[in-house]
Structures are given as C-alpha cells and as structure tokens.
Copies of this chain bind each other. A is one copy, B any other.
C-alpha cells in the first residue's frame, strides 16, 4: 500500500516506519523535525520504498499538494506533541501540534479521497480514575491538555468516519518506552544521574503506578489491530497487563548504571500538572482479537534502560 506516516521521524513513528517497510509498503514520511530526528530514519533513506518530506503539517497548502500528488491509500498519523508537561504550561502546544495537525490531515483525506486513517491515541483521554479503563469507559474527562487534544481528535475522527467514507483505527497507548525516546521518566532519570551520580530526585512520591509498553511491541500491536479489524471505526486500548512504579524505575536505572545513588522525592501524588498517577487498562478487547504484548511492563522498562544506555554512552 501507498502509506503516509506523519511524524515518521519521531520516537514511535520511526519504529512504525521500520515495521511498514519490512512489510513491503511504500512509505512517505512527513516530519518537521522539531520533535522528530533525521537519525531515526537515516537507515531507511536509501530504501526504494521510502521517501522523506521535511514539511510542517500546519502548512495546509503544502500538505494539500502532497496529498494531491501522492494518491495515498492510508495515513498513519503519529505527529503530535508528545510532551505532556510542556503542553501543561501552554495549551496552544497541544492544540496546534496534536489537534490542528489531525484536523488538517483529515480535511486533506476527505478532499483527496484517502480511505484509511490510523490514529495514535492515548490513555490520557480517560482522565483520572481508579476504574478499569475499557474502550467504552465514560465519562471522558481528561486532566491534561495532551489528553484533551487527543480526545478532540477522536471526536472529529468519529464524525469524519460517519459522514465522509473514511475508515479509522484509533489505538490508545499507555506510556511507551524504548530506543529513540526523547523524553519521559527513564530518559529523565538517566540524564539526572549523568549530572549527579550520587542522588536521583524523583518528581512526586514515586508511587505513580502505570503500564509501560515497549515501542516494538506497540508498533506490532498497531499493525495487528489495523490488519485484523474492519469496522468503519475501530477503537482499541493497546498496552500491557502489568505496571511499574516510578520508584522501581528509579532503582532499575541506578542499578543498570552501576551506581549507588540515593533516591529523594519531591512529594505529592503526581509528577507534574496533568500527570495521572495511576491507571489500570482493560486489554480484553485486543487480547480477544488475538494480540498480546511480548514484554511485561518491567521487562519493557528494563530493556529500554539498557538500550538507552547503549546509545547515550
């Protein structure tokens, strides 16, 4: 298939490109290289099925031209603000990078008759609750601009599917870890310990307890859902059953770096504005479909620390 991957030079997007290329699809990547990195896709540059276009999705005229010239069969829309903390400080970040990019891509798809849309959504749309999060959970009251903008996207995707002959796959991710990440708790801990190997300051009380999925498992799951479902709109939680506490991650990073650092806590039940300290994902729907993550949350965290240390060293 002829596929557009937006944000394809980013953390998750570039792993998705690897997987799609290995399945013989023809890829165009659009990325403005603000959050994405050229290095993430360097190994694909000379592949005959791969094309990289450095453009900004907010530049509607350029993107419209790209759609007009390309006859895409499907769009994997991975472009978004991925930094929840940054979006908490300025709502325009999530509004522009997450919501507006999605709205503009949907408009281009409608205009140029592109039929399949695969969307990177998030557990953050569910807001903060102790309930088990099924795909049909309500109410949806996000506590971060990140979650709000993703829910806003889902809303328009749903309406575009209902009215304009677009078929969509909404896949809701938990925390994702692995090679090429650009931020997040593991990344932060490694960088803090590089600066000060004797002490690691953890934001919050360290009890934040969430599922972490390994990026290659995640990409494998996205493609599985896309290839095994065919409703007009297909909505799936994707993740791991298990969870890892932030204080466990802190210790794993210290151990992996061979340090003996003291862990301190800033206190409070969460790391930052918009952080959801704890959530439980119901994965019955995707398991029933026949997919399960290979690695547990702890395995994903441990592997990601290893891989990160190989590169950062």
Contact = CB atoms under 8 A, between A and B. Distances in A.
Interface of A: 88, 91-92, 95, 99, 103, 106-107, 110, 125, 127-128, 135-145, 147-149, 151-152, 154-156, 158-160, 162-163, 233, 235, 273-274
Q: Within the oligomer, what is the number of copies of this chain? A: 2
A160 B149 CA distance: 12
B95 A127 contact: no
Given A139-B235, A159-B274, A163-B273, 18 more contacts: A88-B163, A91-B159, A91-B160, A95-B103, A99-B152, A137-B138, A138-B139, A138-B140, A141-B158, A142-B159, A142-B162, A143-B158, A143-B162, A144-B163, A145-B156, A149-B156, A151-B155, A152-B155
- Secondary structure of the A contact surface, majority rule: helix
Contacts of A138: 136-140
Nearest to A162: B143
Identify the interface centre among A95, A138, A148, A160: most chain B CB within 10 Å of its CB: A148
Contacts of A139: 135-138, 235
Contacts of A127: 158, 162
A65 to B, nearest CB: 19
